[in-house]
Amino acid sequence: MTDIDEDSLRKTLTLERLLTVLCRAVVHRELSYKELRYFLECNVQTIHDEGSEKLEQLDGLCWCLLSEIDYGHRTEWSLMEELARALGMPPPPKTWANTVLVYAEYHPTP
């Protein structure tokens, strides 16, 4: 195993790039929106201190979408679609699993 040079890693893995990767993972259903929220909660001050306009825009979009889920104005599926649009990605594929997800969001079991 090779040693990782922390300085070079910090130069290549910016907070903006990390948040973008996490948002892409949400779109691909590799990460839940709740895990994305946890990351954002843990890094509020760090994101603010970074001073990157792109980072702050993506952070703001994520918080807006998450609050819309909290208030019931958006589904997890529509969050994934909006993140994909904002990142210039194709929308998430419409599969049977996603259809069940959308149905479950509108028809929760007691």
Q: Nearest CA to 47 among 18, 87, 70, 83?
A: 18
Burial class, 58, CB count within 10 angstroms (exposed 0-12 / middle 13-18 / buried 19+): buried
Per-residue burial over 31-53, b = 16 or more CB atoms within 10 Å of its CB, e = otherwise? bebeebbeebeebeeebeebeee
What pLDDT score was predicted for residue 64?
A: 97
Tens digits of pLDDT across the chain (110 residues): 445 555 655 666 789 999 999 999 999 989 999 999 999 999 999 999 988 899 999 999 999 999 999 999 998 889 999 999 999 998 887 765 555 555 555 555 55
What pLDDT score was predicted for residue 79?
A: 94
What pLDDT score was predicted for residue 105?
A: 54
What pLDDT score was predicted for residue 83?
A: 96
Q: What is the DSSP letter of 77?
A: H
What pLDDT score was predicted for residue 69?
A: 94
The pTM of the whole model exceeds 0.95: no
d(CA 58, CA 70): 18
Domain map of the chain by residue range?
14-106
